[in-house]
Amino acid sequence: MTATSATTPDRTAESLLAFWAEAGVDAMLLDEPIDRIAAGKIAPPRPPERIPAAPLKPAPAAARNAGPDISSAVAEARRLAAAAQDLDALKAAIAGFEGCPLRFEGAAHQAVFARGRPDAPLVIVGEGPGAEEDQRGEPFVGRAGRLLDRMLAAAGLTDRVFITNTVFWRPPGNRTPSPSEQMICAPFVERAIELIAPRMLLFLGAAAAKSMLKREEGILSLRGRWFEWRGENGLELPAMPTLHPAFLLRQPAAKKKAWSDLVTLTERLDRPERPG
């Protein structure tokens, strides 16, 4: 070995040493050998002593039942709805009903009940009124409503529908109505369906479909499928959910799916009724 090679530092060894040093290794060799197998027999350190937690005290009944108590509002809605013998009486009952908080939170003008034929073979149920509906007192009269009307006209359904919503007052900021708000208004919706006695139902959007069918799937899973809607008084009707016109305004490519649903529904609606 030459003098030059003896004094030249080993760069590979330096790199390895630097790597292990950065990894936290501070000793490569010890003075005495260690039997690594025997070292495994050393008892592991004792885990810290666990102090049992004190048992939780049950929450007071008032805390467990926190949230709005809607039972009395639902009962009052059922009483008023059952007493209405026609759609005019039902509209008046809704206008005078004070059990839904939306009446005092979002609505600026009036209750928004319905529009369409009182003997329609098809009842359409949407989500809730918006600003234009709140001002005019009829559902689906804004941009989404105008799109719905064009679709109904193309399907030949213009004079064959009765249109309403799951709630009758505009939610603040046009938000989706809550399940409790829909539950409070449900007796009025069901009574309208009973008075009209349609052949089938069409639900627009996820909020309406979930509320009316008591299901949790998303609207893209529910749309275009037939379900049986069951009212509290035993009435059963075929029902189909589809996409809400407001969604179609935001996603024009989805209009094809909604049109397909409407065509399927119209074909079934036009079939001759089977003799009972």
Instruction: Give the contacts of 20 (CB within 8 A, at least 6 positions apart).
Output: 28
What is the CATH architecture of 70-269? 3-Layer(aba) Sandwich (3.40)
Segment 208-212 mean pLDDT: 98
Its pTM stands at 0.75
Q: What is the mean pLDDT of the chain?
A: 85
**Whole-number pLDDT of residue 69:** 79
Length of the chain: 276
Using 50, 70 and 90 to split pLDDT, how confident is the model at 64?
very low
Quick: pLDDT tens for 256-267: 999 999 999 999
pLDDT in tens, 129-182: 999 999 999 999 999 999 999 999 999 999 999 999 999 999 999 999 999 999
Share of the chain above pLDDT 70, in %: 74
